[in-house]
Amino acid sequence: MTTRIALMKQRLAVLHPIKLEIVDDSHRHAGHAGARAGGGHYLLQIISADFADKNKTSRHRMVYSALAEMMERDIHALTIDAKTPGEIEQFY
């Protein structure tokens, strides 16, 4: 059976990520309404050239669009860190 994280990675492939990390943070939200309903809490770091010339809101929309169907049932909360390769190089 495909895990949620594996399915998220498949869906996010449309953004051509050069780095993609997803952490299931659901255990920290035990008892939370979304957790009781079965939706997970995830931390997402994605680096993609597709984000070039896009502001933070547009980048988040791109991610939400790729995960649209999962946002309805599988994902309750998603923390997104979306950057371009150039933005990452600035830190090194």
Report the C-alpha gap between 3 and 46 in whole angstroms. 19
Q: Which residue has the higher pLDDT, 74 or 92?
A: 74
Report the C-alpha gap between 54 and 62 in whole angstroms. 10
**Cβ atoms < 10 Å from Cβ of 58:** 11
- The pLDDT of residue 58 is above 70: yes
Here the tokens at position 39 are 């939706």
Per-residue model confidence as pLDDT tens digits over 80-90: 999 999 998 66
Global confidence as pTM? 0.85
- In one-letter notation, the amino acid at residue 24 is D
Contacts of 66 (CB under 8 A, 6+ apart): 11, 12, 14, 15
**Domains of the chain, earliest start first:** 4-89 (3.30.300.90)
Per-residue model confidence as pLDDT tens digits over 5-53: 999 999 999 999 999 999 998 866 565 555 555 678 899 999 999 999 9
